[in-house]
Amino acid sequence: MKFLKVERARAEKARVLVVRLNLLDSSRPVQHSRSYVYFPISIMGAKAKKAFDRMGAQVVSRWEAKKGEKPSYREQLGKILTKREFSQLARGYDQIGDIVIIEFTGSRSKEKEIAQILIDSNISIKTVLAKAGAVRGKYRVRKLRYVAGVRNFIATCRENGCTFRFDTRKVFFSNRLSYERSRILGLVKDRENVMVMFAGIGPFAIEIAKANRHSNIVAVELNRFGYKYMLENVKLNKVDNVKPVLGDVKKVSGKYRNFADRIIMPLPMSSMSFLDEAYKVAKKKAIVHLYAFADKPDTVKDAVRMHAKEKGYGVRFLEWREVRPYSTTDSEYAVDYQILK
């Protein structure tokens, strides 16, 4: 079994990179020793190996059959599923704290058995929930149903040195965006004013605030449950430089004209309809991090250029990247650009 061995002090940085490169084998638990953290990984290419070499990490073989070790998730699944059924589960699952959220396809007859195997194979998993529909509505939430383990829908997870607590049924949160939050966290300079639109439970705002104690962050959220948990998470993380605001960005933005050095817009389904609001709250030379679903990044850039031409401001594109595939034709793109008033 292959693991990425990294010193504890560099473990969070390594975890973010492992997730970003889709190397984490979520069927096996992360292991710990007094000085090191061991991330279970799949096959690693030469380019990825160089990146980990630079942080002093090593790919090692580690014997997992310790006293009390739980059975391998994949090995146990192979005993109860056909090859077709196994391939339908190949995308894995999302783990948020001690809760796992999995998408089952086909018959429900083996759901409880699969869920129990998950619990038995990973000591950190206490609850298994199933997706019961797509992400829907203006609040981007999905229905979930209990399958096995402790009956619990309240997740507590850690990311970039912060702790977040929330009801998985009431708010949107994706740990698959942890790399984006880490990326932007690395770009923010202390004393910047930051506007986070569509802030949810507060991950962007709180992580930035904790690392930049002299910055002022305004975090706007429309979902009252998201706002409720953002207030709770602000207290939980002891940050006093985040101002949570309950409301519609279109109505709230007028109160923050020329406020922001940096604007974060993590609503890919409709963020491009809020370009007016981004311009309104932006200072001269403000930086915008725009997330959008599109067939290619140029589609997003063209929309920004058109808006800039209509409003009479300049725009300079800084960076773009594909965040994740969304459909057969579209992906989610992050486009960073500077507003030049």
Render each residue's pLDDT in the chain as its tens digit; 341 residues: 678 888 888 888 888 888 888 788 876 778 877 678 888 887 667 777 777 888 888 888 765 434 344 556 666 776 777 677 666 665 567 899 999 998 877 667 788 888 888 888 778 899 999 998 887 778 888 899 999 999 999 999 999 999 999 999 999 998 888 999 999 999 999 999 999 999 999 999 999 999 999 999 999 999 999 999 999 999 999 999 999 999 999 999 999 999 999 999 999 999 999 999 999 999 999 999 999 999 999 999 999 999 999 999 999 999 999 999 988 999 999 999 999 99
Among 61, 83, 101, the domain boundary falls at: 61
> Residue 334 is part of a domain; what is its CATH number?
3.40.50.150
Q: Answer yes or no: do 329 and 221 share one domain.
A: yes
Could you tell me how far CA 108 lies from the centroid of its own chain?
28
Q: Answer yes or no: do 135 and 249 share one domain.
A: no
> Residue 114 is part of a domain; what is its CATH number?
3.30.300.110
DSSP secondary structure code for residue 272 in this structure: G
Name the H helices within the chain.
11-20, 46-54, 73-80, 83-88, 111-121, 178-185, 203-211, 224-236, 249-252, 275-281, 297-311
For residue 295, what are its two tokens?
């067939």
Predicted local confidence at residue 334, as pLDDT:
97
| Beta bridge mates, 287 | 262, 338
For residue 215, what are its two tokens?
């910055």
Q: Answer yes or no: do 223 and 145 share one domain.
A: no
Predicted local confidence at residue 66, as pLDDT:
43
**207-210 long-range CB contacts below 8 Å, 24 or more apart?**
207/159, 207/160, 207/161, 207/162, 207/181, 208/184, 209/237, 209/239, 209/241, 209/242, 210/161, 210/162, 210/237, 210/239
**In contact, 284 and 340? CB cutoff 8 Å:** yes
Is there a domain that residue 85 lies in?
yes
Edge-first strand listing for the sheet containing 2-7:
31-32, 36-40, 2-7, 58-61
Boundaries of domain holding 272: 180-340
Is there a domain that residue 84 lies in?
yes
Predicted local confidence at residue 88, as pLDDT:
62
CA distance 73 to 121: 5
Ramachandran angles phi, psi of 300, nearest 5°: -70, -45
CA distance 87 to 102: 14
Q: Answer yes or no: do 248 and 114 share one domain.
A: no
Among 152, 167, 196, the domain boundary falls at: 152
Q: Answer yes or no: do 324 and 253 share one domain.
A: yes
Q: Answer yes or no: do 291 and 204 share one domain.
A: yes
Q: Answer yes or no: do 55 and 83 share one domain.
A: no
Plot region of 66 (φ>0 → left; ψ -120 to 50 → alpha; else → beta): beta
Q: Answer yes or no: do 237 and 326 share one domain.
A: yes
Plot region of 165 (φ>0 → left; ψ -120 to 50 → alpha; else → beta): beta
Predicted local confidence at residue 73, as pLDDT:
67
Q: Answer yes or no: do 130 and 273 share one domain.
A: no
Predicted local confidence at residue 67, as pLDDT:
38
Predicted local confidence at residue 1, as pLDDT:
64
> Cα–Cα–Cα angle for 170, 321, 324, nearest 5°?
45
Q: Answer yes or no: do 80 and 199 share one domain.
A: no
State the total domains in the chain: 3
